[in-house]
Amino acid sequence: SHTNDPELAKRFPLNIVSPKSHYFLNSCYANMEDKQKGQGEQFVMISAEDAQARGILDGDRVKVANDRGAFKGVARITDDVKSGIVVATLGYWRQLNEGTVNSISSGAFTDMGHAPSFSDNLVEVSRAN
Estimate to the nearest angstrom the gap between the alpha carbon of 123 and the chain centroid.
Answer: 8
7-56 confidence digits (pLDDT tens): 888 999 999 887 666 555 555 555 656 656 655 577 899 999 999 999 99
**Fold assignment, 2-127:** Barwin-like endoglucanases (2.40.40)
**Higher pLDDT among residues 60 and 93, named by residue:** 60
Structural domain boundaries in the chain: 2-127
Q: How far apart are CA 7 and CA 129, in angstroms?
A: 27
Read off the pLDDT band of 1 (50, 70, 90).
very low
The pTM score is 0.80
